[in-house]
Amino acid sequence: MDRPALTNWDRLMAYLNAALAHERVEQFHVRFPDDRNRLLGEEAQSRGTAHHTPVYPREVVTRALELRATAPILARNHPNGSPTPAKADLEMTREIRLAAETLSIVLPDRIIISITEWIGFRREGLL
């Protein structure tokens, strides 16, 4: 009952922006809400270089199952200044979505944060 709820998109984006926009290396974070949008956990799943960080769909889905999360929100920063997704971003998101769907886990959005702006895959029609 005392877990914070993810009910306001603007607050979520402000939080992710503060956490990721000014990082100098790529990081991949996941927020794990339950079916009532209560936050069960949040983790930095990987930290990489200025241009790459490894992400493993199996690890994302395994952790969602461990926490009993039903709708993980994926976020990654792009230190290069552009939130435009690379081909690898699109492919990795597709792999996570497919793995999650087989286990009744919904992927509500994938977000890329840069120092000046962000892109939500759902809003852009990429998810």
Residues above pLDDT 90, as percent of the chain: 65
Residue 45 gets the label, from left (phi > 0), alpha (psi -120 to 50) or beta, of: alpha
The pLDDT, as a whole number, for residue 35 is 83
Q: How far apart are CA 84 and CA 53, in angstroms?
A: 16
Residue 25 corresponds to which tokens in the numbers above? Answer: 């290396």
Is 76:41 a contact under the CB 8 Å cutoff? no
Q: DSSP class of residue 104?
A: T
Q: At what angle do helices 57-67 and 87-101 cross, to 10 degrees?
A: 40
Q: What is the DSSP string of 4-37?
A: PB---HHHHHHHHHHHHTT-SS-EEEEEEE-TT-
Residue 3 pLDDT greater than 90, yes or no:
no
**Position 108 pLDDT exceeds 80:** yes
- pLDDT score for 112: 95
Statement: residue 85 has pLDDT above 70? yes
Contact 40, 32 (CB under 8 A): yes
Topology of domain 12-19+41-120, per CATH?
Cytidine Deaminase; domain 2 (3.40.140)
